[in-house]
Every structure is written in C-alpha cells, then in structure tokens.
Amino acid sequence: MASIRELHEQLIKKERSAVEITQEALDRIQALEPKLHSFLYVTTQQALEQARAVDAKIAAGEEIGILAGIPIGIKDNMCTKGIPTTCASEILKNFVPPYESTVTQKLVDSGAVMVGKTNLDEFAMGGSTENSAYHTTANPWDLSRVPGGSSGGSAAAVAADECVVAIGSDTGGSIRQPASFCGVVGMKPTYGLVSRYGLVAFASSLDQIGPFGRSVEDSAILLNAIAGHDPKDSTSLKVPIPNYAASLKPDLRARGRLRIGVIKETFGEGLDSVVEQTVTTAIDQLQSLGAEIHIISCPRFRYGVPSYYIIAPSEASANLARYDGVKYGYRAPGTDNLLSMYTRTRATGFGTEVKRRIMIGTYALSAGYYDAYYLKAQKVRTLIKQDFEKAFEQVDVLACPTVPTTAFKAGEKNTDPLSMYLLDLMTIPVNLAGLPGLSVPCGFDDNGLPIGLQLIGKVLREDQLFQVAYAYEQSTTWHLRQPQIS
Ligand code: GLN
C-alpha cells in the first residue's frame, strides 16, 4: 500500500475511495492471516462503515484530515468500545469494553479506519508475541521466526502491508524491538506525551503508546494524531505538540549543528557481529550526512534489565490484582467458595509468563524484601536517568542498536525466559528514564532479516528523532524493501 500522504492525495483527488483502500487492506488480511496471524480480531464491518463515512464527507465537499480513510491496526491492549479487547489473555476472553481509550477515540475522530486488533504477548509481557493465549504471529520476512514483541502483531501487520500504520505500546521495548525485527519504523514517545487512558495497564510508570509505520513520515503523522494532554490521565503532560511531519527535511545540515552520541556500552560482548557492523555503517552514514559523532559512556545502562525486571513485575502485580473473576472477564467454573473462585480464576486465566511476573512482583514488594529489591531497583533507575542526563549535556541524540540480534526462530527461547529478557538490554533504559526512542531500519543480515538502528532523544524531542531518522532513511533504500510472503 502507498504512504499516508499518497493515499490522502488519491482520496481528495477522488482517484480512489476510502472503501476501496479499506477493502484492499481487508483482502490482504484475508489472504495473509492464515500464515501470519497478526490479528486477534478483524473489524471488517466497522472498518467498511468508517470508510463509507469518509467517502460521504469527500462527496459532500468537506475537508478531510490526513488520516481519514487510512487503514490502521490497534494493539489489543487498548480498549475499543463494543469491540473485544483481550490483551491476548484467557482472562479477558469475553471482555468487551464499555468505553473507548483516548488514543483510539482520537483515531476515530481523525477518520482513520481501524481494520482490527493486533496480537501481542499476554498483557504485553514478552519479546516475541509467543506468550499470546490465542496464537503466535509469524515474522513476515521469515515465517519460521518471531516478529518480536510484545507488539508483534502490529509490527508484522505493517511490514506485511495488512494495514498502512499501527499502534503499539512500549513498556521496555515492545514497539522498538518488533519494529527492528520486522523492518519498520517504531517510536516510543516521552512518558506522558500520549494518554494511557484505556490502555490496559502493565507497568504504569513505564507504559507508553506509540506509532508503527513503514516510513518515518507515516510514523510522525500518526504520533501527531495521538499525542496531547488528556485530563483523564494524571501523568499526561500539558505541552504544545509540534507538527512532527512538517519539520522533516532530507538534509540534516539544514537544521544546524547536530551531535550524535554513540553509547559505547552497547557495543561488544553479546552483540551479533552483523548487527554491530550494520549499525556502525549506519552511524557512519549519519556522519556523512553532517552529524558530529561522539563516543559516549552510559556506565549504568547495563543495570537496566535487572532493575526493570523488579520494577515492571512489581507494578504488574498490583495492576493485575483486579482480574479476580468478579468484576469482568473470565471466571473459573465449578468453584464452591469465594477464595477458590479467585485462585482458580487466576490460576487458569493467566498464562505462565504473566504468573511468573505476578509472583516476582509480589515477592519484591513484600514487607521483608521491599528495601532489598524494589527500593534498590528504583535507586538504580535514578542512576540510569542520571547517565542519560550527563550524556545529553554533550550530545543532542544518542544512537545504538535497537536489539542485539535479528529475529530468532519461534520456540527458540521459550524455555529460557532470561535469554528473552536480555534482548531488552538496549531498549529498557529508555523507558526507565522516560525518554523518547525510535527504531529505524538500517540493513539486513545474511538471512535477509531486518536490523534496526535505535535513536534516543531528550525529553519531548521526538521532533529531533524523526528528523534524524528521516534524513537517514531518505539517504538509504532499506525502507523500500518488502518481505515476500510465500
Ligand atoms: N520484553 C519486555 C517485557 O517482557 C518489554 C515488554 C513491553 O515493552 N511491553 O517486559
């Protein structure tokens, strides 16, 4: 499918209707889903209705917004009124939200056409989308491999052209990591830029919603549509939102001096050599485009994974206490008292990884261990933040690989959760510090699997990240390659 801007042009020139564009996405979904499984729920009827509404506006001579009539996928941990929202969990199997999340409401208002709810690791816990209670999603570049996670359905759907753009959520890397594995652009905004109202909470101090696109421009347009203050989210920031897409320029020099810091601790041991080479070449390319390259040290970066895997499960254990079989969602049948109803519901409704996190989190928060684990992890979080603050005194943007490897085979890491957790090494510190981070395609390995370059920005400098990523993208051809799905 074409880009948002191209489709918008076609719509306003009446070369194509929104219904035709939507039907093209739905046809592709129907053809590819038996192989890919990117979606948990396809909203065929609603999508066509939304598209017809856009066509009616065009026919009436009304102006339409840039996203009107554009097919979009929504990660299934965002509440959509009247449409099932399962978080890929058994425990929310029958849950149909009575309200709309702020992000999806904004998208509805913009005229975007939701084609379906995309697959994820249960409650966004994981890095491969294999933790979904319903099905696993395949990587469009190699169907035997994972798309990454937890927003693997959104990333795969965009890479495979089942929709033009998609929405994901990122607690420790869940937008950037699958973007890297699937060869698309993925952005985690500054904490508080996008409202979390209606996003099913995993770890509230880390969760952030963000866009996926096949290009930097598409992602920038989508972020503009979902960013902004929301009184329904007490952590939502009250700040002006720049027009990200309008400020994109292929010439990096046009915006003045730009200093990019390469985080030295992200190179070396544990990093696949092909990822190292590819990312190094991408950084050389940024230099040739006019950026000054500096080597920067973030010595506490490597403590991100251990502190995150205390903080995130702790918050999750509190957030997931609400699933008890009483208020909504699944209730285990055949129990004869309240306590066994609670325990049976939670024992059978949650999957292994979710239960593991609830147990770790409950342990870390318990009276005797709170100081040793949770409090210490929070202190480490502050140190990591300070590393970034120091780095940003010297440079404008930081660069490193998004993930140390390319996509792995399905099933390869299922029995070893720690090896899965380690893949988050380079994305987690960004969430701990609340900063914006973006993954942009920067090459392929010998098996034809995509590799991502991660750019990390100062608080609320999404504009800078998009600008750097755009200049890079426009000087390369990686984003033009498409997976051949057979
Ligand atoms: N892979 C990380 C985890 O399992 C990150 C998940 C996320 O960002 N939602 O916690």
Of 75, 87, 119, 125, which is best to mutate to test ligand 1, by the most ligand atoms within 8 angstroms of its C-beta? Answer: 125
Q: Kindly tell me if the per-residue pLDDT of 477 is higher than 90.
A: yes
HSE at residue 293, side-chain half, CA atoms within 13 A, is 16
The percentage of residues in the chain with a pLDDT greater than 90, rounded to a whole number, is 96
Ligand 1 neighbour 174 (Cβ under 6 A): yes
Give the pLDDT score at 328. Answer: 86
pLDDT digits 0-9 by tens, 297-344: 999 999 999 999 999 999 999 999 999 999 889 999 999 999 999 999
Banded model confidence at residue 1, pLDDT cuts 50, 70, 90: confident
When pLDDT is averaged across residues 477-485 and rounded to a whole number, the result is: 95
| Residue count (the chain) | 486
User: What ligand 1 atom has the least distance to the C-alpha of 206?
Assistant: 8
When pLDDT is averaged across residues 149-154 and rounded to a whole number, the result is: 98
Q: Report whether the peptide linkage leading into residue 17 is cis, meaning its omega lies within 30 degrees of zero.
A: no
Give the pLDDT score at 436. Answer: 98
When pLDDT is averaged across residues 421-442 and rounded to a whole number, the result is: 97
Q: Which amino acid is it at 270?
A: G
Banded model confidence at residue 255, pLDDT cuts 50, 70, 90: confident
The percentage of residues in the chain with a pLDDT greater than 70, rounded to a whole number, is 100
pTM: 0.98
pLDDT digits 0-9 by tens, 63-82: 999 999 999 999 999 999 99
Active-site annotation holds for 150: yes
User: Which residue has a Cα nearest atom 4 of ligand 1?
Assistant: 126
Which residue is associated with the tokens 């590799």?
451
DSSP helix/strand/coil, 72: strand
Distance 125 CA to ligand 1 centre (A): 5
Q: Report whether the peptide linkage leading into residue 101 is cis, meaning its omega lies within 30 degrees of zero.
A: no
Q: What angle do CA 250, 251, 257 make, to 5 degrees?
A: 135
Ligand 1 neighbour 439 (Cβ under 6 A): no
When pLDDT is averaged across residues 200-210 and rounded to a whole number, the result is: 98
* Other CB atoms within 10 Å distance of the CB of residue 13: 9
Distance 12 CA to ligand 1 centre (A): 40
Active-site annotation holds for 204: no
For residues 129 and 153, the answer to whether their CB atoms sit within 8 Å is yes
- Looking only at the bridges linking them, the beta strands covering 259-263 and 397-401 are parallel
**Residue tagged active-site, from 17, 128, 132, 150:** 150
Give the pLDDT score at 392. Answer: 98
Distance 196 CA to ligand 1 centre (A): 16
Give the pLDDT score at 269. Answer: 84
The single-letter DSSP state of residue 253 is G
Ligand 1 neighbour 201 (Cβ under 6 A): no
Give the pLDDT score at 228. Answer: 98
Distance 437 CA to ligand 1 centre (A): 15
The single-letter DSSP state of residue 208 is E
The single-letter DSSP state of residue 141 is T
How many helices (H) and strands (E) in the chain? 15, 11
Distance 423 CA to ligand 1 centre (A): 10
Distance 383 CA to ligand 1 centre (A): 21
pLDDT digits 0-9 by tens, 217-238: 999 999 999 999 999 999 999 9
Q: Kindly tell me if the per-residue pLDDT of 262 is higher than 90.
A: yes
Active-site annotation holds for 57: no
Ligand 1 neighbour 165 (Cβ under 6 A): no
- Looking only at the bridges linking them, the beta strands covering 292-296 and 259-263 are parallel
Q: Which two three-digit tokens encode residue 121? A: 């690791």
User: What ligand 1 atom has the least distance to the C-alpha of 175?
Assistant: 8
When pLDDT is averaged across residues 356-362 and rounded to a whole number, the result is: 97
DSSP helix/strand/coil, 451: strand
Ligand 1 neighbour 171 (Cβ under 6 A): yes
Give the pLDDT score at 441. Answer: 98
For residues 469 and 455, the answer to whether their CB atoms sit within 8 Å is yes
Q: Kindly tell me if the per-residue pLDDT of 268 is higher than 90.
A: no
- Looking only at the bridges linking them, the beta strands covering 165-170 and 208-213 are antiparallel
- How far lies 482's CA from each of 8, 155, 156, 183, in Å? 22, 13, 12, 9
What the chain holds in terms of domains, given with CATH numbers, is: 4-251 (3.90.1300.10)
Helices 4-12, 44-59: crossing angle, 10 deg rounding = 50
Please report the beta strands in 11-158, taking only residues with DSSP state E, as ranges in sequence order: 39-42, 71-75, 113-118
User: Which residue has a Cα nearest atom 5 of ligand 1?
Assistant: 172
Q: What is the layout of strands, in order, in the sheet containing 165-170? A: 39-42, 113-118, 71-75, 165-170, 208-213, 185-188, 437-444, 450-457, 397-401, 259-263, 292-296
DSSP of 368-391, one letter per residue? TTTIIIIIHHHHHHHHHHHHHHHH
Please tell me the distance from the alpha carbon of residue 372 to that of residue 369, in angstroms, as a whole number. Answer: 5
